[in-house]
Amino acid sequence: MSKITQRISPFLWFDTQAEEAVNFYTSIFEDSKIVSIMRCGDAGPGPKGSVLTIAFQLAGQQFVALNGGPHVKFNDGVSFVVNCETQEEVDRYWDLLTAGGQVVECGWLKDKFGLSWQVTPTVLIEMIHDPDTARADRVMKAMMQMKKLEIAPLQRAYQG
């Protein structure tokens, strides 16, 4: 049994693809690993030996994935933000997470499992919090026209 070291952990409900999703996510993010897998026994709820839950880490953050059945689906009310320092990071995470998924807008996407992500350059947050509201507004307007966020055009909007 693994020891719980994080007070609050995201718990992700999948139909039957928890193991596939965890393998996908841990292949994308550094400092990621599967911590433990709990399989169903004779009492179920799934077939004996099938995955019930998987505890895992993404970039050091703990998560749990559950094969809970088809009655619960992800929605846009919850998303995960991937903070990126460079355009290369934005491009890498965007390309990997959108593979088989759906591009939304303003840096948002849904991965192939329907989970929502925001791939965000950290410089964007700095620019839209600038006390110069004209600068911040220009950046926000530029961002609202993008699908994947591009740092260079955001910086150009910031500069005016």
pTM of the predicted model, to two decimals? 0.92
pLDDT confidence bin for 3, thresholds 50/70/90: low
Mean pLDDT of all residues in 52-69: 96
What does the mean pLDDT of the chain come to? 95
Q: Is the per-residue pLDDT at 142 higher than 60?
A: yes
Q: Judge whether 110 and 104 are in contact, CB under 8 Å.
A: yes
C-alpha span between 39 and 34 (Å, rounded): 14
CA 133 – CA 67 distance, rounded (Å): 46
Residues 6-19, buried b or exposed e (16+ Cβ, 10 A)? eeeeeebbbeebbb
Helix (H, G, I), strand (E, B) or coil at 129: coil
Q: Cβ of 72: how many Cβ atoms within 10 Å? A: 12
Residue type, 158: Y
